[in-house]
Homo-oligomer: A and B are copies of this chain.
Amino acid sequence: MNIYDIAEKSGVSIATISRVLNGGKNVSQKTYDKVMAIIEEEGYTPNIFARGLGLDTMQTIGILVTDAKDTYYARMISYLSEGLHSLGFNVLLSSTGYDLKSKKREMELLISKRVDAIFLAGSSQQELKGNTHIKEAAKTIPIIMVNGYIDAPGIINVSSNDRAGIYDCIRKLSASGYQKPLYFYNHATYSGAEKIAGFEAAAKELGLAKVKERIIQLPDTLTGMQARVEQVIASGLDFDAVVASEDLLAVAASKALAGRKLDLPVVGFNNSILAEVSSPTLTSIDNMLESLCKMAVELFHERSLGKDTSSRVTIDCKLAVRESFRPEE
């Protein structure tokens, strides 16, 4: 069933069918109704390839993510695709893993599939240095960094202010009497570096010595994390609070501390369901993921409409207060 069949059945030319299909401009109401009726009746759908061939667009956006099953990225995917969807786009999803080679490969693949733009979801999509493949791609196709930042023409950057998020949190701990915080992280990403910078800045203001020793990397599994935190406790390092780069690390810390009967403030990051599930429930820095994604889609939309939008937008974090730390006023 193609446009010719419909044309024949309707007794008009394919051009008229095409017009009807594309909104019905310059078509008499009578013809429009007649054609529409036949289209419905036959259950005809225009061939997307033929259409794409002419227009060179398939109304499809590519989303690149390092690990689609990670709760955090999953939420990104969901919010982004929701927004894009309501703009009439479909979403082509690619989970790249953390290897640069395959990130590049997937990117090329998406470009060769003629997607209309690429959203790079999560700061792990960008390297700490270089990123020439992204800059290069941006010359061909709109690139939107969601929670990342690359300063190059054509790239739209939307990110949460993670640095300030951590910084403010340390300040609040300090104001509540906890002046010897520890910082746990696991992945070294762009946003990871930002968070550490926030910690360092606040630690310096607190006059803490040997700040580097307070910034501790944890392994990837929950039990591994817990074991490492226990080591840290056993090492006798003097601390009175814990801030983590992700809720899961905060959970591990919380469990290890509980095991030692230590009741210290613990703060996570992302404000995920894990913070709610943990006992005690965890105070967590909320990086406003949904707003972030909405904003990313919005900026892309405006840009594609030809507006001269900002190429970098930053959103502030909020502290979601729960049992593990209640700041004093």
Q: How many residues of A are counted as interface, with CB atoms below 8 angstroms from the partner's CB atoms? A: 47
Contact with B along A268-290 (1 / 0, CB 8 A): 00000110111100000000000
Q: Mark A59-75, 1 if CB is under 8 A from B, else 0.
A: 01000000111110011
Fill in one digit per residue for A293-315: 1 if any B CB lies within 8 Å of its CB, else 0.
Answer: 00000000000000000000000
Question: Which residue on B lies nearest to A252, using beta carbons?
Answer: B277
| A279 proximity list for chain B (CB < 8 A) | 255, 258, 278-279
Looking across the interface, which residue of chain B has its beta carbon closest to that of A57?
B49
Beta-carbon contact of B45 and A53 below 8 Å: no
For A251, what are the chain B residues with a Cβ–Cβ distance below 8 Å?
A: 277
Residues of B within 8 A of A50 (CB): 49, 53
* Cα A258 to Cα B109 with chains together (Å): 51
A90 near B92 with CB under 8 A, answer yes
Whether the pair A91, B93 counts as a contact (CB closer than 8 A) is: yes
Establish whether residues A114 and B78, one from each chain, have CB atoms under 8 Å apart when the complex forms: no
Q: What are the residues of chain B within 8 A of A274 when measuring CB–CB?
A: 273-274, 277
Within 8 A of B (CB), among A7-58: 45-50, 52-53, 56, 58
Interface segment, one of A79-87, A177-185, A194-202: A79-87
Least CB separation from A80: chain B residue: B68
User: Is the CB of A320 closer than 8 A to any CB of chain B?
Assistant: no
Q: Bound complex: CA of A82 vs CA of B90, how far in Å?
A: 19
Contact A68 B74 (CB under 8 A): yes
Nearest B residue to A58 by beta-carbon distance? B49
CB pair A77 B93 closer than 8 Å: yes
Is the C-beta of A138 less than 8 angstroms from some C-beta in chain B? Answer: no
Stoichiometry, copies per complex: 2
A277 to B109, CA, bound (A): 37
Q: With contacts A48-B114, A276-B222 known, is A77 near B68, CB below 8 A?
A: yes
* A45 to B92 alpha-carbon distance, docked (Å): 18
A235 is an interface residue with CB less than 8 A from chain B = no
Cβ contacts A218-260/B at 8 Å (1 or 0 each): 0000100000000000000000000000001001000100100
Determine how close the nearest CB of chain B comes to the CB of A238; give it in whole angstroms: 26
A77 to B77 Cα, complex, angstroms: 11
Does A111 lie at the interface of the complex (its beta carbon under 8 Å from any beta carbon of B)?
yes
Assess A45 versus B111: contact at CB under 8 Å? Given A78-B67, A78-B68, A279-B278: yes
Point out the residues of chain B lying under 8 angstroms from A77, CB to CB.
68-69, 74, 77, 93
In the assembled complex, the CB of A103 is this many whole angstroms from the nearest CB of chain B, namely: 14
CA distance A201 to B129 in the complex (A): 59
Residue among A49, A70, A114, A255 with the most chain B CB within 10 A?
A49
Q: Which residues in B have their C-beta under 8 angstroms from that of A74?
A: 68-71, 74, 77-78
A248 cross-chain contacts in B, Cβ below 8 A = 273, 277
Residues of chain B within 8 A of A75, CB atoms compared: 69
Q: A47-B114, A48-B112, A274-B274 are in contact. List 12 more A-B contacts (CB 8 A).
A: A45-B111, A48-B113, A49-B50, A50-B53, A69-B79, A71-B273, A74-B78, A77-B93, A81-B95, A248-B273, A248-B277, A279-B279
